[in-house]
Structure 1
Amino acid sequence: MPHAPAFPKEDFQPCALIPIYNHKDTIAATVHALRAHDLPVVIVDDGSDDATRAVLKALAASEPAVQLIRLPRNGGKGRALTAGLIAARDTGYTHALQIDADGQHDAGDVPRFLAEGRADPQALICGEPLFDDSVPRARLYGRYVTHVCVWLETLSFTLRDSMCGYRLYPLEATCAEIDRAPLPARMDFDTEVAVRLIWRGVPVRNLPTRVIYPENGLSHFRMLHDNLRISAMHTRLLLGMLPRAPILLWRKRRRAACAA
């Protein structure tokens, strides 16, 4: 069973990673909020419309620290993130802070994510959402089903929320997992990559962060198709957990012994 790669704590070169599909009205504010923290930005345009492409072109031209990657057609959030993670690694970054383009995530928490990453550069730093009243009830309740599935798939309560798209990836371990087996192309990406990194031995830190659902926000979550994909993903991951159960339980006992 592979383990997370080790590298010196001072070797910490993060960037922000934004997948985007037609969020032309919110992307500039998101980028400017990230640049306020001196964070370079990698944007992956997942086949957006002409209006969004024009906004992105202007952003990239005005911000030297913005790297724009264009995919020829819409392939899904997971495909865009996969392309962005590999590009960030190849550019020389050690970590990528995934954040949504629609203003859902609080860019004011960027320093907290980066501080956690510096403290434990091998770890996956996952946002633990603090929702307000804007969250749709169906989406909120559906998360609890995924929480239970993930706890079974990892035999652990380590990961408190696998669906939050605000997280800091250690790129060496994440790209090694991508190289080992492709990750899902769509909304099931966030959960599967987190589970597979835990299987790989990557530690997890959970960071509470405010998450909103903006009024008149554009969501690309397709209730029927994406829920079917997520159900199939959980079936696949539960089956994948079975041969890994002995080492997952051994790690759990070792952590308990270290904490004692």
Structure 2
Amino acid sequence: MSYRAALMIPVYNHPHYLAALVEYLSQFALPIVLVNDGSNAETSQILRDLAAQYRDVVLVEHAQNMGKGQAVMTGLRRAAELGCSHALQLDADGQHHWQDVAKFLAVSEQHPEAMVIGQPIFDESVPKKRLYGRYASHIWVWINSLSLEIHDSMCGFRVYPLAATLAIMDQVELPARMGFDSEILVRLSWVGVHFENVATPVIYPEQGISHFRLWEDNWELTKMHSRLFAGMLCRLPRLLPQRLKGRD
């Protein structure tokens, strides 16, 4: 399949930046898949208005909130149904540097077999607790993938190679919430997908809305990393020679 990308945004009650984001993305003349993950009436109406206003917008709606991971999976499948080979994901909360979309797409087109992931450059707005939590998760990802190739496992600014990603989604039950971002990267690493890391500014805007549940989601992430660790140990006889060979 020739290279063709879609732009995909999971949305759950993030009304403040949607119109400006879609207006910016419309310049690329690519499908814009908006996934309404059971948002409130205000956000849902904005999404429906955008779908009516822009011909490139494809709106998919969940009847109820199913979690960010499930929203991303829904968006990836819709992008594949549209005949796309890749899907660039952006979050809807205003954290990401939209001006880097062209850079991410260029890197992905140059390396179509790779998973392109954002490597955040944080400013002073980042909450320290969130920053420390990210590093703890990264360490687990490095252990579970037996690789340092994934520089940041939680950034929602990324480009998925759809064939490899959907193959995993069809084989494994992946987390419906926050754990999806990290687990899909580890599993892509296990099947030999290469990663391209792209440095990009990330902020925590004043009107940003976080749906991270401190205790519940950290517990879910702990269980996910434990499960992946067991999976890594099972794959160790195959993975370790591959990793050692890659250092030669």
Q: TM-score, normalised by structure 1?
A: 0.93
- Structure 2 counterpart of 1:245: 236
Quick one: distance in 2 between partners of 1:185 and 1:248? Answer: 27
Unmatched 5+ residue regions in structure 2? none
Quick one: distance in 2 between partners of 1:216 and 1:38? Answer: 28
Quick one: distance in 2 between partners of 1:228 and 1:240? Answer: 19
Quick one: distance in 1 between partners of 2:149 and 2:176? Answer: 25
- Structure 2 counterpart of 1:3: none
Q: Displacement, 1:43?
A: 0.5
Quick one: distance in 2 between partners of 1:47 and 1:102? Answer: 16
- Structure 2 counterpart of 1:115: 106
- Structure 2 counterpart of 1:47: 38
Return the letter of the residue paired with 1:87.
Answer: R
Matched, 1:185 2:204: no
Quick one: distance in 1 between partners of 2:180 and 2:150? Answer: 15
Quick one: distance in 2 between partners of 1:183 and 1:35? Answer: 31
Matched, 1:37 2:16: no
Q: Displacement, 1:135?
A: 0.3
Q: Displacement, 1:39?
A: 3.0
Quick one: distance in 1 between partners of 2:92 and 2:207? Answer: 14
Q: Displacement, 1:255?
A: 1.8
Matched, 1:142 2:133: yes
The number of equivalent residue pairs is: 248
Deviations along 1:24-81, one digit per CA (max 9) or x if unpaired, are 1211111112122333210100001111111111100010000000011001001111
Quick one: distance in 2 between partners of 1:205 and 1:189? Answer: 19
Q: For residues 167-186 of structure 1, what are the structure 2 equivalents within 5 Å?
A: 167-186=158-177
Native 8 Å contact 2:119 2:155 kept in 1: yes
The runs of at least 4 aligned residues of structure 1 exceeding 6 Å deviation read none
Q: TM-score, normalised by structure 2?
A: 0.97
Is the partner of 2:87 in helix, strand or coil? strand
Residue from 208, 211, 226 that aligns with 2:202: 211
Residue from 223, 226, 236 that aligns with 2:227: 236
- Structure 1 counterpart of 2:215: 224
Is the partner of 2:204 in helix, strand or coil? coil
Unmatched 5+ residue regions in structure 1? 1-6
Q: For residues 76-155 of structure 1, what are the structure 2 equivalents within 5 Å?
A: 76-155=67-146
Tell me how large the CA RMSD over aligned residues is.
Answer: 1.0
What is the percentage of aligned positions where both structures have the same residue? 48
Native 8 Å contact 2:16 2:207 kept in 1: no
Quick one: distance in 2 between partners of 1:165 and 1:231? Answer: 19
Quick one: distance in 2 between partners of 1:88 and 1:40? Answer: 8
Q: Displacement, 1:247?
A: 2.0
Return the letter of the residue paired with 1:219.
Answer: S
Residue from 155, 160, 164 that aligns with 1:164: 155
Larger displacement relative to structure 2 (170-179 or 240-249): 240-249
Quick one: distance in 2 between partners of 1:182 and 1:27? Answer: 30
Q: Displacement, 1:111?
A: 1.1
Matched, 1:65 2:56: yes
Is the partner of 2:174 in helix, strand or coil? coil
- Structure 2 counterpart of 1:202: 193
